[in-house]
Structure 1
Amino acid sequence: MLAWISRLLGLGTAKRQEAEAPNEPAAAQAATISPTPEAEPAPAAEGALLQQVLLDKQRRATGYLFSLQAGRTGQLADQSPRVRALLDDLLIARLLTLAPHWPAQRSAWIAIDDTSLAHGSLPRLAALRTVLHVQPAEPEQAAAPETVSRIRSLQREGIRIGLDAAPGAPWFESLAWLADVFLLDFHQAPATLQRYHAQLGGQFALIPRVATGVDTLDALDAAWKLGCSEAAGAFAQLRGNWQGNRIAPGPLRVAALLARIGSDTENREIAAALKQDMALSYRLLRFVNTASGGLQHTIGSIEQALVLLGREQLYRWLALLVCASAQRGEGDAMMETALVRARMLEVLADRVAPEARDDLFVTGLFSQLDMLLQVPMETALEPLALTPAVREALLGRRGPCADWLAVAEAGDNSDPVALLVACRKLGIPAMRAASARITALAWVHSLAAAPDTQAA
């Protein structure tokens, strides 16, 4: 169980979000989830923010790979130096907002053009345990003396430098002696990777390696054999063959309660069901008394807790418990991804489809429920009372919620074209999706960093 689950909801959350949302006319029906058309962003300012989780051999999250890529109308644009510089500036500015609650055990890997190494704010990124993934504007030319000087200056400030492994290339050879880590791109041919492995082992045996573009389990196995200590790629989203698996008793009991709330069961029946599960009743009372610290008396009964929370907050709390019931090492990384998606979609909906906010939060939260519980998605959703829009999105990526989920998933899957297409389909500027992702990640980190955190 994530230790900070009890802080994910507060009694003032719903009212606070309503106060923050602009006063826009509500859409006719929540099920349509029709976003208000947005003004077209300037092409140079349109960027697709990609964020992949970096995992170690135990599938524990160790960092994030961030990049902001230019594009328009679903096609990646040619990135002129001016556009690349603008995107690097936007990426740095957004990532700096994560610094206050950045987890001590995570690193931020930031893809940046070598022409942006002089950016004045880069030293401040040391708070994120940053590794700058420096990419050359001219890979066939040796790095300029000023590039070397800037890299050494940033390293003195606590910034680490990562280079794409390319032994023999002039730019790589001119900077390899300065690198803190090498990145092996597994989209390259296996023979090329084997050659790089041999060359790096001979010249730079002590410099760690990280694998990117690892899309299959075979590629992951190859990454470990080639000496990589961490890996990122589509392998983290692969589903197993879980046919025949059943939901464990713990999350199944929570799911049954969730279904009662979704089907408008009366509070007295919900309270009676809760009282049959002593552990869940204890968690609920502990949560309510922690979240309602301003009250002058302790909430001592389930009935009082239900009245104080309200059905919407109780639904969210139980939904979070269903996800958090995964007790595997990789479960925390998946849970974090699900929470970021949930909050990201909620933030995006605040301005353009506020009536759909709850559906979109649940869609993002349950988008990896099958992976968390290691059962088919149909099995995972069977005991839950979900709206048709949420169920369609999760089972078949169809319906009104599916378009929104596609925005979050494309950013996680390092697919800039799909992300830009999804944003255009909804009429949302890609940079708004980028801001929502950073806001969501900061929210999750702030919860984890809270000093008075207690287990749910």
Structure 2
Amino acid sequence: MFRWLIDKLAPPPNQSPPQDATVAVTAAPSKPDYSGLLRRRAIYNRHWQIAAYALTLRELPHAKHSTHAYRDDEVLLCQVERLLANHDFKHTDIWVEMAWSNIAQLLLHDFSNLPVLRVIAHGNVNLSAADLIELLPQISQRNIILGATAKHWHQSHPTLGEQLKIVALSIQSPDFAVLSQQVAICRQIAPHAQLWINDVDSREAAEACFQLGADFVSGQVFTWPEAQQIHFPDSFIRLNQILQLVRQNADAKLIADELKSDPALSARLLRYVNSAALGLSHPISNLDQAIVVVGNQRLYRWLSLLLFSSKGEQELDETLLEAALNRARLMELAGQKQFNHVECELLFLTGLFSLLDFLLRVPRALLLKELNPPEQVIKTLLGDSTPFTPYFELALSSELAGPSIDQLAACQLSAGDFNRLQMEATLWTFSALAT
């Protein structure tokens, strides 16, 4: 996975690296034509893996008028159908959120290229019991799994919960007792359904949800109230020592000598250099030569990505890498109109490094002191106000309910721009991690 990903991030081989060896992302050759209507959020399972992405239509100016609800959900389903027709989602579950009153529209669309589509219905159930008896089996036959938000539908349709496979609950109170009561009600009204809890704002809150029986959570789950340790794994220290030599443009022999202290890392580098990604005509077995061929810029990127596996084989590593790449790519795309290429590289690096403190469970300031990235990256991640700050806040808000009007304005983006860029970043990350 890393070999392909590095090659995807890398500039052409004949491009000379900048003095400051930072992560660079080449612009996509052509941008897909998205209307910017879809918004997505990640759904995490008990193993801290991204189990799915939930898609919904961004709030439109007329969204509060019920007369437009049918048209809005039709637009949503057309957008999802179009997305699925152009991208392979066979290894990623897709959930769609739409109104109860419009679920019959599901029968008018083709989602056969997905193994299964999960639909979370919201709002009032204004369908009769007879309509539901006729409609639900037809939906099920199309490999569509139906769920619902935890509203008061069980009062008018007390048996509906028996047929639901998912119940979505938004946290209304940080009080553990209140949340426990809400979870108990969900289990009572939909005894066979999995529970998805939204709007989680910390890792502690997410763990509390799982302890109460939640199957999935969404929100900003990669935050700790305080660091859990003040030391780094040995593998991180070795990687970072080499990373600093690369950033200082040290001699290839000096970098090679440092690499030789880690035989496994040396072997990985040689495999990468001799892979089809670089397309060399002759194999290379010498580390000095390998470093010269790869170049400092590519080597810096390669080592930066390996930081996400510096704790060894951990369940969380790939999830964090996916989340970090989503942040990094979104920031880089959002800043392209305002910043030059070098600054966009730093935006990407800011997003990429923003979750390493969570992975290693060390204070962010200590981590940045060890990594010593460019000053703009350090200041942004430590909370100082920089030109990158609005883009970092945009990336963080994308993991919750979405950016505010002020946050969008600070990045000179419309809501449609944001949704389009968020979807592009997500699809780019899918492509990177699927290979």
| Residue in structure 2 matching 1:7, options 1, 4, 9 | 4
Find 1:100's aligned residue among 72, 84, 88. 88
- SS state at 2:215 partner: strand
Show the counterpart of 2:381: 394
> Which stretches in structure 2 are left out of the alignment for 5+ residues?
14-24
CA contact (8 A) 1:52 1:66 kept: no
Q: Are positions 1:66 and 2:50 aligned together?
A: no
Q: Tell whether the 8 Å contact from 2:145 to 2:165 is kept in structure 1 after alignment.
A: yes
- SS of the residue corresponding to residue 58 of structure 2 reads strand
Contact 1:140–1:170 (CA under 8 A) maintained in structure 2 = no
**Pairing 1:84-95 to 2, within 5 Å after superposition:** 84-85=72-73, 88-89=76-77, 92=80, 95=83
Counterpart of 1:353 in structure 2 is 339
The answer to whether the 8 A contact 1:21-1:351 is kept is: no
Structure 1 portions without partners, runs of 5+: 23-44, 451-456
The yes-or-no answer on 1:306 pairing with 2:291 is: yes
Establish whether residue 340 from structure 1 lines up as the match of residue 326 from structure 2.
yes
Q: Could you say what secondary structure the match of 2:275 adopts?
A: helix
The 2-side partners of 1:302 and 1:399 are apart by 39
Given that 1:143 and 1:174 are in contact with CA atoms closer than 8 Å, whether structure 2 keeps it comes out as no
Whose RCO is larger (CA < 8 A, sep 6+)?
1
Shift of 1:349: 4.0
Q: Structure 1 residues 153 and 368 mapped into 2: Cα distance closer, same or farther (>3 Å)?
A: same
Q: Label 1:143 to 1:50 Cα distance change in 2 as closer, same or farther (>3 A).
A: farther
Letter in 1 for 2:226: N
Residue 454 of structure 1: aligned partner: none
Letter of the structure 1 residue corresponding to residue 375 of structure 2: P
Whether the 8 Å CA contact 2:41–2:218 is kept in 1: the answer is: no
Tell me the distance in 1 between the aligned counterparts of 2:251 and 2:65.
58
Residues 11, 292 of structure 1: 8 Å contact kept:
no
Structure 2 residue matching 1:400: 3-state secondary structure: coil
Q: How does 1:137-286 map to 2 (within 5 A)?
A: 139=124, 141-142=126-127, 151-167=136-152, 173=158, 175-187=160-172, 197=183, 201-202=187-188, 204-215=190-201, 219-220=205-206, 223-224=209-210, 226-234=212-220, 236-242=221-227, 244-286=229-271
TM-score, length basis structure 1: 0.78
**1:14-64, Cα deviation, whole Å (9 max, x unpaired):** 239657579xxxxxxxxxxxxxxxxxxxxxx775824133221x3333223
CA shift, 1:268, in A, is 3.8
Match of 1:111 among 73, 80, 97: 97
Q: Distance in 1 between matches of 2:9 and 2:259?
A: 23
Contact 2:166 2:194 in 1 (8 A): yes
In 2: Cα distance, 1:210 partner to 1:20 partner:
34
Q: Is the 8 A contact 2:100 2:126 kept in 1?
A: no
1:339 Cα deviation after fit: 1.5
* Matched pairs, number: 415
Aligned-pair Cα RMSD in Å: 3.6
Residues 130, 54 of structure 1: alpha-carbon distance in 2 compared, 3 angstrom cutoff: farther
Q: Are residues 1:380 and 2:380 paired?
A: no
Check whether the contact 1:49–1:434 (CA below 8 A) recurs between aligned residues: yes
Distance in structure 2 (CA, Å) of the matches to 1:218 and 1:277: 36
Task: Sort the Cα spacing of 1:202 and 1:120 in 2 relative to 1 into closer, same or farther, 3 A.
Answer: closer
Percent of matched pairs sharing the same residue: 22
Opposite residue 212 of structure 1, the aligned amino acid is: N
Measure, in 2, the Cα distance between the counterparts of 1:98 and 1:163: 28
- Give, as a single letter, the amino acid of the residue that structure 1 aligns with 2:7: G
Corresponding position of 2:20: none
Between 83-92 and 148-157, the greater mean CA deviation after superposition: 83-92
| Alignment partners' CA distance in 1, 2:112 and 2:422 | 18
Q: Which whole-Å CA distance do the structure 2 matches of 1:61 and 1:10 have between them?
A: 24
